[in-house]
A and B are shown apart, each in its own frame.
Chain A
Amino acid sequence: YYYSSMAKDGGVSCLRSSEMLNVGIGGMEPPPLDLDEVHVLAVDDSLVDRIVIERLLRITSCKVTAVDSGWRALEFLGLDNDKASDEFDKLKVDMIITDYCMPGMTGYELLKKIKESSSFRQVPVVIMSSENVLTRIDRCLEEGAEDFLLKPVKLADVKRLRSCLTGDVKLSNGNKRKLPEDSVSVDTSLPPPPLSLTFSTNSSDSSPPLSPVEVFSSPLSSPEDDDDVLTSSPEGSPMSEESPIRRQKMGSPGLD
């Protein structure tokens, strides 16, 4: 269920140290672990959306692990059982971005489980949804979501998220510059061996049985707008920055 990237340039990295060494991926030389790199866990049941979000994140210099369900995400984080496990203390996840509407476990339920965990409650969780439902947004923010993005997600959205994650800014000479206490702390005493891994996924083989997608009645959702707009600026659409209902952001760029 890990994702091999279409770009074939090293693809998805999984920073789980214990598993790396046990899996024999013939002939593959993993790139060295870069502790300064931001690692994002992306969760979406749609294959198309997973590919797009993965690309969006990688183009903004994040390492990405993409999974297709909340269960996979919990499994990846080691939260799928009640046993506390030491190996997951070494797992470096800087942000989790998840779709809201997913069969089985919604993004909201995943958010709650993450916030209940001692090891990952500090990790910012971003919710994505195709429906602009204020009650849904509020509920997520109240539960501790860092941000809420309206789908389809654009490059400007991810760039903005990325800039909020620059707790550790890597300078060209390799020095790390940290923001004060409210940044995500990276355990710099991690063992050095290379920890990257690429699986190819068969996303149709998810183990828990899927329940039908939740359908939310959304009386507050805005009418479908005809936004086939050509942006004149190739760099980004200024319009998405201005729209007040596209997303709500809670707090400062740092973590609470």
Chain B
Amino acid sequence: LMTAKSLASKETVNGRCWFYSDDDDGISVYLNRELHAMNTVVAQLQTQFQDYLVSLYQQGFLDNQFTELRKLQDEGTPDFVAEVVSLFFDDCSKLINSMSRSLERPENVDFKQVDSGVHQLKGSSSSVGARRVKNVCISFKECCDVQNREGCLRCLQQVDYEYKMLKTKLQDLFNLEKQIVQAGGAIPQHFPSYTILRPDIRPCLDA
């Protein structure tokens, strides 16, 4: 039973919703409807986000260190994880380029340089929880140790593929995050119990 006059208008300023109306009843009905709609949208987005994030762990793209990074993010630093991984991806690109140059000529491979690059890549991938990238680095190091140029080239290609894949996945994740925030919701921080998700993985409690 809202008249045109009492229909409230809505505006989003600085991420917060403001309702304007000259009719108190109109605004409260409108608000209730709006909030309900918003809650539904937010809940859907949050579920989508949660499911996607969990799938990234299940498919082995991410490990526990990514969880640790997320702990360091809060309302005051909402882009922390995105910024750190962005730096990591820049690192990947630079290191892969320089290692590629070192591996270029079969008669003159600088394995020391390649090893240094792999070491750095392994370190930073480990620090952000980029599990697949890190695992390729382990094989990569082994090829380097025995000066296997062919093996190194294969690993180089694989590490390039993996970091780019992860970059795409995380971009999708961060987009979901943005949508949640824009819809007025909070980013889910907690996970369901991991044993339900990955019964094949046991925590490493012993040395």
A interface, CB within 8 angstroms of B: 6-7, 9, 46-49, 51-52, 55-56, 59, 101, 103, 130, 151-155, 212-213, 215, 222, 224-232, 234, 237, 239, 242-245
Pick from B54, B135, B192: contact of A224, CB below 8 A. B135
Cβ-defined contact, B138 with A224, below 8 A: yes
Chain B residues closer than 8 Å to A9, beta-carbon distance: 76
- What are the interface flags for B50-87 relative to A under an 8 Å C-beta threshold, 1 for contact and 0 otherwise? 00001001001011110111011000110110011001
The CA of A50 and the CA of B127, in the complex, are separated in Å by 10
Contact A232 B193, beta carbon cutoff 8 Å: yes
Q: Which 5 A-B pairs have the closest CB atoms?
A: A228-B63, A230-B194, A48-B124, A232-B193, A245-B207
**Which partner residue on chain B sits nearest A6 by CB separation?**
B83
Are A239 and B204 also in contact (CB < 8 A) when A46-B127, A48-B91 are? yes
Given the known inter-chain contacts A47-B87, A154-B68, A155-B72, please indicate yes or no for A225 contacting B204, CB distance below 8 A.
Answer: yes
Instruction: Provide the B186-199 mask, 1 if CB < 8 A to any CB of A, else 0.
Output: 00011111110110
Given the interface pairs A6-B77, A230-B67, the reply to whether A46 lies near B116 with Cβ below 8 Å is no
Contact status B207-A244, CB under 8 Å: yes
Complex contacts, A228 vs chain B, CB 8 Å:
57, 60, 62-64, 131, 198, 201
Does the CB pair A155–B68 fall under 8 Å?
yes
Q: Are B87 and A48 in contact (CB under 8 A)?
A: yes
Of the candidates A7, A49, A151, A229, which one forms a contact with B80 in the assembled complex, judged by CB atoms under 8 Å apart?
A7
Chain A residues with CB under 8 A of B79: 6
Q: How many angstroms between the C-alpha atoms of A20 and B80 in the bound complex? A: 29
Complex partner residue of A7 from B77, B127, B128, CB under 8 angstroms: B77
The CA-CA distance from A107 to B62 in the complex, in Å, is 29
Once A215-B115, A229-B64, A231-B191 are accepted as A-B contacts, the answer to whether A46 and B77 lie under 8 Å apart by CB is no
Q: Which residue of A lies closest to B122 (CB)?
A: A130
- Bound Cα distance A98, B195 (Å): 35
Chain B interface size band reads: 35 or more
B interface vs A, CB < 8 Å? 54, 57, 60, 62-65, 67-69, 71-72, 76-77, 79-80, 83-84, 87-88, 91, 112-113, 115-116, 119-120, 122-124, 126-129, 131, 135, 138, 189-195, 197-198, 201, 203-207
Q: Which of A6, A51, A229, A234 has the most CB of B within 10 A?
A: A229
- 10 A-B residue pairings within 8 Å (CB atoms): A6-B79, A48-B84, A48-B127, A49-B124, A154-B65, A212-B115, A227-B203, A232-B191, A232-B195, A234-B71
Which residues of chain A are near B189, meaning CB under 8 Å? 234
With both chains docked as a complex, state the minimum distance between the C-beta of B134 and any C-beta of chain A, in angstroms: 8
Q: Are B126 and A151 in contact (CB under 8 A)?
A: yes
